[in-house]
Amino acid sequence: MSLPEKLLVKRTKISYVLIAISIALLLFTFSQSIFPASANLETVSFNGGTVQVTPDSIYFPHVFSYTPSLFVNVNLDSVYRTVNVQIYRISTATSFPSIEGSPLYENVFHNVSSLSFYFPYSNQNGTGSEELVMLLNNHQIPFKITVESSNVPLLEDIALFLSLPTFLYGVLISQFRWKYWPLIILVGYVSISPFFGQRYDMFYLLIGGFHVLRGVNPFISSSSLPGALKWAYPPYYLMWSTLADLFAGFLTRMPVPSPSSLVYPGLLFGQIYNVWMVFAPSSLPLYYFLQKVPIISSTFLIYYLLLRKFEVKLNTVKFWLLNPFVILIGAVWGQFDVVASLFLLLSIYFLRKGRTDLATLASVTGFWVKIFPLFSLPFILISSRNKRRDIFISLAGSVPALLYYFFTGSFTTDLFTLIFSRAVPTYHGLFSANGLSWQVILDGLGVTSFPSIFTYTVIPFVFLLGVLYYFKRGNVVNYVIAEFLFFFLTYNFVNPQYFILLLPLFLINADVRNYLVYSFYPFAYTVLSYSFTYFIVPSLSYYYFSSQIGEIEAMRTWFTGSIFVIYPLILVFVANVIYSLFKLGFRKG
């Protein structure tokens, strides 16, 4: 064997070892998060009921989670209309124990016979035991927390942060042929998904399922569900969220949280992006992973469609799985737009094959995940040779979603929530804008009333595209791209995750330049606007800003997320959209 061949074999072996080490590090972190070393349970009886606190032992130090959260489950002897809960430290400085300082936790629950919640516990007295007391409608229930010294949390954090660069370097130096790479990349997607997530959005997914399991209508606000947390999307992904929550609870033997325990007290003061703080169990990575299973699956099914069905060249389709933005939005963030993207691509594929029946079914099914796959439906119906059949399919394909609305208890109100929240996005009735929309600048200037440009112009624009398609036909992908660009130009919410639906369309057209350009803008916006530590699962880093990394990230995002950086990015992006639309109008075919 020649020297180059020996070096190649050695390099391949090293890559195998590095990948194996990275997986082992992640498995260690995962096992410590789901099955913490401290799994004791303190149970206190009172007046025919019980209070359970877990764990009753806390391990310090912890690099990023200076303040872990404790789970409290309360079973009452009967149904109470109002339950006031407060938790305090007990001072032992005097001869008689007394309540000390402000409450560690306080909340009010309504019409409950049981309740559960999380409260942050900060270590002030070093190792040893500390007495706490819960005031339950002024009934005092003392319990004890033990603080122990352990290096396990420190090792857990080190393992988490070493695993990703170890894995990436192992893949980088590997000599795998490309046909094996998707499997290796899949391992990477699966490995990082439990430990990262956009905290508000992941909490939003989780509580949707919790409310369904508790019999609460997730689509309308009520005493059990603040309006800011109602499910404002179509219902199909909510169905998966419910199943995922149920399965995670079965695996961890954790009861479904009561609706009132999922209401963050600070929500009354507008602290909407801190709502995740009420749910941070040690098993949260498992909940995150199960919520992301369809997201990861759809990402790889899109890769298969592009390569095998749309016959995109391998050197081009590689950009999909290896795109940092695709990884960020799906496996890290937890946005499910990629599921809708899968159905959009299926509808275009079947339309190209002349199967307008299957194309219609894919488009409508995708619509009930998120609305965007409906962009292909006008061109499907124009191309259809059996329009009655395909219209019937579109109605029949909507039956499961409509039945779901019906059985949740308020059919018309639930549908109104979907239509109004998607067509006219406002905040408490006032004009609002977000993301890469140029209307963010108006919002920043204090404009509170501004017409919804998209609502007034989308139907004429789609009608115009339909007329052009009817007479000219050509590449339907270009028409759908035009719809997305028009949406970006006129809608007041242009969130980064929306671009996931546009990117595969550029790959179908072998338009790598625009694929990279429209990957850059949302990726740059996300990196500039968000702290990296905000994406770490709260069970590993509850107060993400308390560590040195968190403090540095807070200072960075203070500048990079300011108008001096974001506004120029938005203006350049809008100019690029206008240019792309103009260029698309002169493209043939």
Please tell me the predicted confidence (pLDDT) of residue 46: 55
The answer to whether 115 touches 109, Cβ cutoff 8 Å, is yes
Residue 523 makes CB contacts below 8 A (sequence gap 6+) with 324, 325, 328, 496
Percent of the chain whose predicted confidence (pLDDT) is above 90:
42
Average pLDDT, integer, range 310-318:
88
- Report the C-alpha gap between 551 and 200 in whole angstroms: 20
The C-alpha atoms of residue 157 and residue 124 are separated, in whole angstroms, by 22
Q: Are 359 and 376 in contact (CB under 8 A)?
A: yes
State residue 60's pLDDT score. Answer: 42
Give residues with Cβ within 8 angstroms of 419, minimum separation 6.
none
CA distance 202 to 195: 12
What pLDDT is attached to residue 63?
A: 37
Instruction: Check the CA dihedral 277-283-287-289 and report its sign.
Output: positive
- The pLDDT score that the predictor gives to residue 546 is 61
- pLDDT tens by residue, 276-302: 888 888 789 999 999 999 999 999 999
Query: Is the CB of residue 299 less than 8 Å from the CB of residue 338?
Result: yes
Assigned token pair, 509 = 């057209």
pLDDT number for residue 293: 98
- Say what the pLDDT of residue 573 is: 98
Both tokens of residue 558?
């203070």
pLDDT value of residue 516: 96
What crossing angle do the helices spanning 476-490 and 453-472 adopt, rounded to 10°?
A: 170
DSSP codes of every residue in 461-494 = HHHHHHHHHHHH---HHHHHHHHHHHHHHH-SEE
- Model confidence at 39, pLDDT cuts 50, 70, 90, reads very low
* Tokens found for residue 489: 């130009």
Secondary structure element (H or E) that encloses residue 435, with its range: strand 434-435
Most confident segment among 44-53, 178-187, 464-473: 464-473
**Domains of the chain, with CATH numbers?**
42-149 (2.60.40.1930), 181-290 (no CATH), 336-401 (no CATH), 424-589 (no CATH)
Question: Worst-scoring range by mean pLDDT, 41-55, 134-148, 276-290, 311-325?
Answer: 41-55
Half-sphere exposure of 110 (CA within 13 A, CB side): 5
Residues 345-398 pLDDT 10s: 999 999 999 999 999 999 999 999 999 999 999 999 999 999 999 999 999 999
In tens, the pLDDT along 59-92 reads 443 434 445 567 677 877 778 888 888 888 887 6
For residue 92 the two structure tokens come to: 């032992």
Predicted pLDDT of residue 355: 96
- Report whether pLDDT(209) > 50: yes
Per residue in 102-134, pLDDT tens? Answer: 888 888 887 777 777 777 776 666 566 778 888
What pLDDT shows up at residue 244?
97
DSSP string, 260-320: GGGS-GGGGGT-GGGGGGG---TTHHHHHHHHHHHHHHHHHHHHHIIIIIS---HHHHHHH
Regarding predicted confidence, which is higher, 3 or 427? 427
Least confident residue range of 148-162, 308-322, 368-382, 502-516: 148-162
Q: What is the percent of the chain with per-residue pLDDT over 70, rounded to a whole number?
A: 79
Nearest to 106 by CA among 88, 130, 124, 131: 88
Report residue 235: phi and psi, to 5°: -90, -10
Q: State whether the Cα torsion 501-503-505-507 is positive or negative.
A: negative
Q: Between 425 and 250, name the one with better pLDDT.
A: 250
Per residue in 461-514, pLDDT tens? 999 999 999 998 889 999 999 999 999 999 999 999 999 999 999 999 999 999
User: Could you tell me which residue, 172 or 312, shows the higher pLDDT?
Assistant: 312
Tally of CA atoms within 13 A in the half-sphere of 445 that contains its CB: 9
Cα distance between residue 534 and residue 536, in whole Å: 6
pLDDT at 589 (0 to 100): 53
The whole-number pLDDT of residue 149 equals: 59
Burial of 3 (0-12, 13-18, 19+ CB in 10 A): exposed
Structure confidence at residue 396 (pLDDT): 92
Mean pLDDT of the chain: 83
Half-sphere exposure of 226 (CA within 13 A, CB side): 18
In terms of Cα–Cα distance, which of 348, 574, 300, 382 is closest to 477? 348
Which one has a higher pLDDT value, 502 or 314? 502
476 Rama class: left (phi>0) / alpha (psi -120 to 50) / beta: alpha
Query: How open is the CA angle 188-190-194, to the nearest 5 degrees?
Result: 115
Q: Is the pLDDT of residue 200 over 60?
A: yes
For residues 489 and 100, the model is more confident at 489
